[in-house]
Amino acid sequence: MTFRMLAGLVAVIHLGFVVFVMVGALLVLRWRWLMWIHVPAAIWGVLIEFGGWTCPLTPLENWLRVRGGAAGYQETFLEHYVFATLYPAGLTRTTEVILGVIVLAVNVAVYTRIFGRSA
């Protein structure tokens, strides 16, 4: 049971990271110091999408699930809402690249505004 709970926790952290990568630049508009955390996270997120790599959190989630005796994802609250967001059905390589471009464009736009104001 502990491994399944840990897998759920990793999934929530994973989702939080994805959301932070996508919209964290908006938080930087308010708290500039957050830029030091967000820029590396955004670079990592974009590289994962463009490179077609697997985020290290994904195998960790799966390993914890297997250790917890789960055979794949069962329909719990976390799995239904969180995992479906992280691993949508029909996710293709083209969609991954498009998502990477969107994340990159949003971040470039926000950071251009941030640096444009300070110049």
* Beta carbons of 28 and 35 less than 8 angstroms apart: yes
The pLDDT, as a whole number, for residue 41 is 95
**Domain ranges (residues) in the chain:** 2-118
Q: 10-residue block means of pLDDT along the chain (119 residues)? A: 85 88 90 95 88 83 82 48 67 81 88 79
Q: What angle do CA 18, 7, 88 make, to 5 degrees?
A: 45
The pLDDT, as a whole number, for residue 81 is 54
The pLDDT, as a whole number, for residue 40 is 95
* Beta carbons of 42 and 25 less than 8 angstroms apart: yes
The pLDDT, as a whole number, for residue 77 is 41
The pLDDT, as a whole number, for residue 71 is 59
The pLDDT, as a whole number, for residue 78 is 45
- CB-based contacts of 81: which residues, under 8 Å, 6+ apart? none
Give the whole-angstrom CA distance, residue 70 versus residue 32.
42
